[in-house]
Structures are given as structure tokens and as C-alpha cells.
Structure 1
């Protein structure tokens, strides 16, 4: 696990954002400074939001792994908002969607119980898993957000996934050039959960 602690010492009006994700948020194949999480901190500052970012994302992380780690993370960091960007690896491994739903709901509950606003980012998986699985997988994020009163964000790779020039050779992970577009996609939702 790595932590990207952004900015100087916290001032009284600073917000604290915990990002719990997989390789998409862990800047796979890039330096941490090039990833969307670090760039989002700068973009938020430009909009007048001073935010300490704790990036607890791990490449390969599943929803079950995030569920195990989140309680200690919220205790340690007391975030004002938590971004949950998990589920993609569950889908790629064909894990049961019911298990994903339980894990996402549990993470949202843990964050909310600590007084944090939650931004749940939906994931997508390739269509070769079949329409039934991919459809159920896709709907899970909206269902969990609606049931728990969390904010459902956009798919982080919405603006880049279909452009081969913005994806690494594996076709799964975005390039450095794609990261600012990811920030642009997510910024309105991030502002929504971070503004007091």
C-alpha cells in the first residue's frame, strides 16, 4: 500500500479525501504524480478546494480487499469524503456480482458511519463476459449508490477507453496523456462530495 499525502500541513478548512481503488487510481505504469488522483488534487485547489489526498489504491485490488482494508483507513485518516473505485478486478475474474454488491455496500456503510461522503465510481468490463453478467455487473454500482444514498460518479474511463492512443498496450490501463481527461470526467462529482 502507498499513501500519497498531498500538500502542506492541514489548515482548519482543509478537506481530507481518501481514494480506495485499484490500478486505475494507483497510476499503473505511470509515476504517482502523473495519475488522476494527484492531478485531481491540483485541479481541486484551482477551484478553491484545499484537499489532502490519501491515495490507498493498490493495483489488482478487489472489492473484498478494499472491504478488509477500509475500516483501518477511515480510522487512521478520518476523511471527509471517500472515493471507492473498485470492482473492475472482480469483473475481470468473473467473481459473483452478488459478492461485489455486498462488498460495495459494506464499504459505503463503513465510510458513512465515520461521517464521510461517498463517491462510488462504476466500473465496466469487456462484453465477452456475456450480456447477462456484464449487464448485472454494470447495474450493481447504481443499485448500491441508490440504496445507500451515496453519490454515483461517472465511469472514470468514459472519455478515454475507446481511444487506443489514450490506453496502454494492455488496452486496460490509461496512459499519462489520458489522466487529465479522467480528472475532467470526475471533477464535478469530486466537488459535490467535498464541498462543505
Structure 2
């Protein structure tokens, strides 16, 4: 009897988490330099629960990740979790390393195609570079995200760090990574765009 009860609990649990959101990102989403449970992705899980949206949040972000690394890892993660939505937060490390812009663009397109082939919707997060990388490269880099979003017809969150990057009190000492206090603002930057994807799914539409 206890064995049957346990099986029922497992079944109910799997049904409760029948939908999932996958975050594929780099250190900005991997909670670099801060406790994991204080990062914006962990806060996303809390907000979903508060809004009675039954989604499992899978954080597949790794510090230092590039678009090429994402292409390598994403298929296995998609196969394992079968997410309904993929939040794509990659490209910053490519830019910081001076990768060729056409390569970054090609990789982002491929990542979106991988996710869509697995039946997931995609939310793209726009990244930008510090001005010291030169205006031509920096402008070309940020333009990639708008162009990819338009060509692929996917929603894009405007510059992910817009609300925190110019506030030193919200950044870690390296000037690149938001601190604990900045994480709610990062979630607020993503939430309106993600919520538009979540609501039709939660309503069965």
C-alpha cells in the first residue's frame, strides 16, 4: 500500500511540473559571486510560485559560457527537460573576447533553431559591451540581437543589464557582474516579456 502511495505521489509531482522554463546563460544567470538562491533565476522560480504558475525552472547557465558552448550543450539539455520556453542569455563572453560578429550572429540563430526544433518558444536577452571595445564593434554587437530577434520572430528583452550597469552600488567590484541587490531588478527586466509567453501556456492556449 505504501509503495502504491509513493508511486501516486511521484505521478502527481511529475504532473505538477509538466511545464518548464530553461535558462541557458553565462555568469549573469549562473549567480556568479553571489549565493545561488539569491540569483535572478532563483527569484524567477519564486515569482512563478507566487503567481501560481506551475513551471519548473531549469538553470543550465555556466560562468564563462559562449554561444559556441551553448550550441554544444543545448541539445542534451533540451532532450532531458523538454522545456516549453528557453530563455537565451548568451553572447556577452563572445563579445568580451572579440569574437567575429558574423560568428556570434550565426551561433545565436543556431541556438534558437535548436530550441524551436525541440518544440520550445525562445526569449532572447539583448547584451551590450562596454564602450572601450570601440564603437564600431560595440554597435555591431548590440545590433546582432535586434536583427536575430526580428529575423527569427522571437521576443527580445532590451539590454538585460540596463537598470543596474550604471549604478556602482548594484555591481560587484569587477564592474561586470551585478551583485545580490541587483538581482530583483534583473528579474523585473525579464518578467514582462516572459510573462507574455507563460500566460497562454498556463491557460492551455
Name the TM tier (shorter chain). over 0.9
Given the two structures, how large is their TM-score scaled by the length of structure 1?
A: 0.92
Count of aligned pairs between the two proteins: 189
Query: Separation in 2 of the partners of 1:13 and 1:50?
Result: 6
In our comparison, the structure showing a higher alpha carbon Rg is 2
Query: Separation in 1 of the partners of 2:59 and 2:17?
Result: 20
Of 105, 113, 116, 2:117 maps to 113
Q: Where does structure 2 lack aligned partners over 5 or more consecutive residues?
A: 1-11
Of 82, 92, 108, 1:88 maps to 92
**Counterpart in the other structure of 2:75:** 71
Counting only pairs closer than 5 Å after superposition, residues 10-159 of structure 1 correspond to structure 2 as 10-12=14-16, 14-159=18-163
Q: Where does structure 1 lack aligned partners over 5 or more consecutive residues?
A: 1-7
Q: Higher mean Cα deviation, 13-22 or 83-92?
A: 13-22
Taking a change above 3 Å as real, the CA distance of residues 46 and 154 of structure 1, as seen in their structure-2 partners, is: farther
CA contact (8 A) 1:122 1:152 kept: yes
SS at 1:189 equivalent: helix
Q: Which has the higher contact order (CA 8 A, sep 6+)?
A: 1
Query: Separation in 1 of the partners of 2:163 and 2:48?
Result: 19
Higher helix share: 2
Query: Separation in 2 of the partners of 1:100 and 1:176?
Result: 29
CA displacement at 1:64 relative to structure 2: 0.5
Moved over 4 A (4+): none
SS at 1:9 equivalent: helix
Of 175, 182, 185, 1:181 maps to 185
